[in-house]
Structure 1
Amino acid sequence: MITIWTSSTGTDSESLLTCSKFHFEENVLEKLVRLEHKMEPFEEMMKFMESSMSKKSERMDKIKTETKTYCVYLGIEEKVKTPGPVAFLAYRTSSQSLSNGIKVVFDHVWTNVGNGYQSSTGIFTAPRAGLYHFSAVVMSGNGKQLFVRLLHNGKSKSGSWISGDGRKTGMLNTVLNLQKRDEMYIVAGDSETIYSDESVYINFSGYTIT
């Protein structure tokens, strides 16, 4: 007798494979949905952080603007930008009668970069802080003595005393650290006359080194 066995292994395997594939895809889809839900708070957090950073950037820009404005108000704008040079050269073409403490007025100007020198007063007012060099050439009357001083905010920093026959030439020189609005000028030390004419024998100059 011949017995015939019929195997359903192939069919069961195919069913199992189909079921497993469907179950796998379902699990993947479920995980994707869960991941998407998890990403939503993260996306919200990222939006919040971007908004916060934007506000902080705007605040920093505002602080920079306010700081620059405050520096300008305090007169220290030179510290927040590159300072320009300052230089002047003034002279006289006539004599000036002086007495003790009277300023020598160099009433003509060749150079006045920064507009620090006033030809009507003889005073140089520093437009900005910096290291300055100042010099002057003076001349006495014929056979007369001449004593003059270079003053910084009223304090003597350099002097020249000349005397003898004929007219004599004297010089003043100094290098000083000035603050903005500091003043420099030349005054007489006695009753005397400082000499000059169209040949321009006397002058007063200064300029920034730094």
Structure 2
Amino acid sequence: MVNEIKKTEDKVISTLGDIKRAISDFTDMFADMKENITDEMLKRSDEIERREDSFKKLFEETRINLTSDLEAKTEELTELQGKIERPPIAFHAHHVVDLVLDTTDEIIIFTKNVINEGTGYDTSTGIFTAPVGGLYQFSVHTCDYMVKHAFIGLVLEGKVIAADSNYDKDYYTCSTVGAIVRVRSGEKVWVKSTASGSNRQLIEDVYRMNTFSGVLVNN
């Protein structure tokens, strides 16, 4: 019986040793697993932070680009709206009453409007006043009497920007002169005689017409 008890005791002690070793092995394995899991979690955390930083940077760049594009489009729309809201500027006048050019710098007045969009041309003074600033195109067509001279100047704010002379001893002649010029809002354009004399005279009949015209090309 003592031997049996001894054997049983030895088995218990051996079993306890096995359990202790198993617990020790499990503890070591758990510690390794914990360390591995911790390292993996740290790696994943670092990767998430890197991706988050990259996403934030991309988002900020996208936001800045979109904001810049939106501001540019807003400016374009504002400019386009301004152009749309502005009325077209164009005039075409004819019929000169005073055909004799006997005074130097005399303004040649075209008294009848065919079109006067923007009401810039004044038939009483012969002067066009630009309602808005921009790039304008002007044209002057005049006809002179036979054996008579015509010296014509297109004038912007007192300065001749285009000039023409015309003469024929046997027949009536016509000529055209024009210019493309930038005009500020409120500036004035007109046509004048650049040289006077008793032999300076225009002609106007059913076959010939003196005209002065202008149009806003771009503002």
Under a length normalisation based on structure 1, what TM-score does the superposition of the two structures give? 0.59
User: Shift of residue 135 of structure 1?
Assistant: 0.4
Q: CA deviation at 1:84?
A: 2.4
Written as runs of structure 1 = structure 2, the 5 A alignment for 1:76-91 is 81-82=82-83, 83-91=86-94
Greater helix content: 2
Uncovered stretches (5+) of structure 2, i.e. residues with no partner: 1-78
Please state whether the residue corresponding to 1:97 is helix, strand or coil.
coil
> Does 2:191 align with 1:190?
no
Cα 1:173–1:93 change in 2 (3 A) is closer
Candidates 170, 173, 182, aligned match of 1:168: 173
Provide the rounded CA distance (Å) in 2 between the counterparts of 1:79 and 1:186. 33
Where does 1:67-78 land on structure 2 (aligned, <5 Å)?
none
Q: Do the aligned partners of residues 199 and 164 (structure 1) sit closer, same or farther apart at CA in structure 2, a change above 3 Å counting?
A: closer
> For the pair shown, which has the larger CA radius of gyration, 1 or 2?
2
Preserved contact between residue 95 and residue 110 of structure 2 (Cα < 8 Å): yes
Q: Which runs of 5+ in 1 are unaligned?
A: 1-77
Cα offset for 1:79? 9.9
Among residues 76, 96, 111, which one is paired with 2:99 in the alignment?
96
Inter-partner Cα distance in structure 1 for 2:181 and 2:81: 22
Offset at 1:194?
1.7
Map of 2:143 onto structure 1? 139
Distance 1:163 1:139 in 2: 9
For residue 97 of structure 1, report the CA deviation from its aligned partner.
1.5
1:160, distance to aligned residue in structure 2 (A): 0.7
Give the TM-score of the pair, scaled to structure 2. 0.57
Aligned to 2:132: 128
Distance 1:126 1:161 in 2: 26
> What is the percent sequence identity of the aligned residues?
26
What is the aligned counterpart of 2:209 among 195, 201, 206? Answer: 201
Aligned mates of 2:139, 2:105 — CA distance in 1: 19
Question: Once superposed, which parts of structure 1, at least 4 consecutive aligned residues long, lie more than 4 Å away?
Answer: none
CA-atom RMSD, angstroms? 1.9
